[in-house]
Copies of this chain bind each other. A is one copy, B any other.
Amino acid sequence: MRFDITPYIDMSPAEVRQRIRKGEITFPTAGMCRGYAQANLVILPPEYAADFEEYTRRNPFPCPVLEIIRGTPETHAMGEGGDITTDIPEYFIYRNGVLSEKVNDASAFWKEGYVGFLIGCSFSFEEALMAAGIEVRHIATGRNVPMYKTGIRTVKVGPFEGPMVCSMRPMTPENARRAYEITVQCPNVHGAPVHMGDPAILGVRDIDQPEYGESVEIREGEIPVFWPCGVTPQAAIENAKPPIVITHSPGHMFITDIKNAELNDFLEARKRR
């Protein structure tokens, strides 16, 4: 599938969130609102929230928390006036660990005591890669990023455990080293690559069969480069099997009011408070 994101490239996050809320946008958000950070979403019932919060703390690279939403589904730090139950183009509803529904509006599922987690996303560093002249293939070809369950396990907390999911971008070894230099400076938005090169070393069986997203072409002279991915918590949730979980559909993100270039410093400053 290809989507025309052109009208949304330079639109404000508040405006795009409104259009998503109205049902105008139901496809992946990659490339929209150039410059602004996008976020993964997990909403859990109260009895699972504390363990999940600790799980994100123990696995900060795949699960960098941007904002925790309690009380009402409204966002504040990441976008005043946003709503995590309506401002994402597609939601997955899991029941007992099994995907049961895909919806474009999740407001009917929010209940008292539910806790929402907005989690950083690799889109946040792709802008910096492109600014450095590194082609990001899936954006250039209008596809969703390929994501793989790897042989690396996350740290278990309560019922939450599972593989680290990694997103993959093909590039030359030279660009891979530059990409390391750029992304290692953003530890709060996934940080440096987990692996550069042979997918088998990472425990990825078939590079053409990603577990999430869509496969992309790896050209002659290029290697796959893997980063920790914010879909990791979804894999942990599949294992934890809570009675109900609401998440974004992979690639369909919450667009925040914080610029990518400012996100790492924003989170670093908040840590020190």
Contacts and interface: CB of A to CB of B under 8 A. Distances in A.
Interface in A44-94: 58, 61
Q: How many copies does the complex hold?
A: 2
Contacts of A201: 173, 176-177, 196-197, 223
Contacts of A176: 201
Given A61-B184, A185-B155, A187-B187, A177 B203 contact: yes
A173 B185 contact: no
A192 interface: yes
A218 to B, nearest CB: 14
A195 interface: yes
A146 B184 CA distance: 23
A265 to B, nearest CB: 13
A136 to B, nearest CB: 19
Interface in A166-181: 173-174, 176-177, 180-181
A153 B173 contact: no
A203 B175 CA distance: 11
Contacts of A132: none
A10 interface: no
A174 B202 CA distance: 8
Interface string A178-215: 00110011010000101111101111000000000000
A257 to B, nearest CB: 27
Contacts of A61: 184, 192
Interface string A146-178: 000011110100000000000000000110110
A187 B191 CA distance: 11
Contacts of A272: 272
Nearest to A58: B185
A82 B66 CA distance: 42
B202 A177 contact: yes
A135 B103 CA distance: 50
B197 A197 contact: yes
A174 B52 CA distance: 27
A181 B153 contact: yes
Given A152-B180, A177-B202, A197-B197, 16 more contacts: A58-B185, A150-B177, A151-B173, A151-B177, A152-B177, A152-B181, A153-B181, A155-B185, A173-B201, A192-B192, A192-B194, A195-B196, A195-B197, A196-B201, A197-B198, A272-B272
14 contacts: A61-B184, A61-B192, A151-B173, A152-B177, A173-B200, A173-B201, A176-B201, A180-B194, A195-B197, A196-B197, A197-B198, A197-B201, A198-B198, A201-B223
